Structures are given as C-alpha cells and as structure tokens.
Amino acid sequence: MEGLKYKVIKSKSQYKLYCKVLEELVDTTPKSSGIKDEIDLLTLLIEKWDEEHNTFMELDPIELLQSLMHEHGLNATAVAGILDVSKGYLSDILHYKKGLSKDVIRVLAGHFKVSQEAFNRPYELDQPVAANKKKVNNLAA
C-alpha cells in the first residue's frame, strides 16, 4: 500500500511546508480535478492546524495582519500588490488611520487562509490630531 501524500500537521515546519505547497498549487493553471482535491485537502489540514495553534482572536485585525505578514515574509509592498491597493492606503491601514474594507478583508482571508471573521472585528482607529484640535476649537467658539 502506498503511503499518504499528506498527513495531519504536527509541527510548525510541516505547517509551513504545506502552506508553501498550497500556494504553488493555487498558482497552477489550469487546475485538474486532482489538483483541486489536493488544494481542498491541504486547506482543511492547514485550517485544522490554525484552529488549534493560532490565537487570532487575541489579536486585533491589524496586529493579526502584521503577524501574518511577518510569518509569510511579506513586506508592505507585497501586501499592497496582493490587495491591489496603493502602498499609502496600506500604510494608513497598518498605522490605524483607515479601517479594513470588506474587499480587503475578503482578499486577506483568502490569501492567508483564515476566516474573514479574524479580520472583521472592531478595533480602535487613531484619531488625527488636526481633527481633534478642530473639534476643540469649534466647542470653544
């Protein structure tokens, strides 16, 4: 009997290997039914590992994004390309100046193979100082 090609993930190195294989398979065109089945299986194995080992819900969505960027060796330019947004827009997101849009959440969840709920949670945005001064001045008038 032939050995299994993929097994339940039991180590971080195995997890990283499966993530790399999955990315390569997803980039393969065209996809035969065998490749689609392989993608589905790897996705299930990776999601199972994520559920058991990651603490996504302890991080706010921006901390999660920064953690995933670091884990996958991605810089802001690469993530801006994945999201098809400008580097400035991504910078505003990473510095808590703008919130995550539904489209950005959808793409991030798909790219990093996590649930959309991990990114679709409330978090505090930094308020610009100029806006706060303007409010104070209006109150004083």
Taking only the tens place, the pLDDT of each residue in 68-123 is 998 888 999 999 999 999 999 999 999 999 999 999 999 999 998 888 888 998 99
For residue 121, what are the domain limits? 57-125
Question: Quick check: is 16 in a domain?
Answer: yes
DSSP state of 96: T
- Name the domain count of the chain: 2
Residues sharing a CB contact under 8 Å with residue 35, sequence separation 6 or more, in sequence order: 25, 28
How far apart (Å, rounded) are the C-alpha atoms in residues 35 and 103? Answer: 27
Query: CB-side exposure of 53: number of CA atoms within 13 Å?
Result: 11
How far apart (Å, rounded) are the C-alpha atoms in residues 70 and 62? Answer: 12
Assign residue 108 the CATH number of its domain: 1.10.260.40
Q: Do residues 63 and 119 share a domain?
A: yes
Q: What is the mean pLDDT of residues 10-20?
A: 88
User: Phi, psi (5° rounding) for residue 99?
Assistant: -85, 170
Q: Do residues 82 and 117 share a domain?
A: yes
Q: Do residues 41 and 89 share a domain?
A: no
Question: Quick check: is 134 in a domain?
Answer: no
For residue 107, what is the enclosing H or E element? helix 102-112
Residues sharing a CB contact under 8 Å with residue 49, sequence separation 6 or more, in sequence order: 9, 15
pLDDT for the residue 137: 46
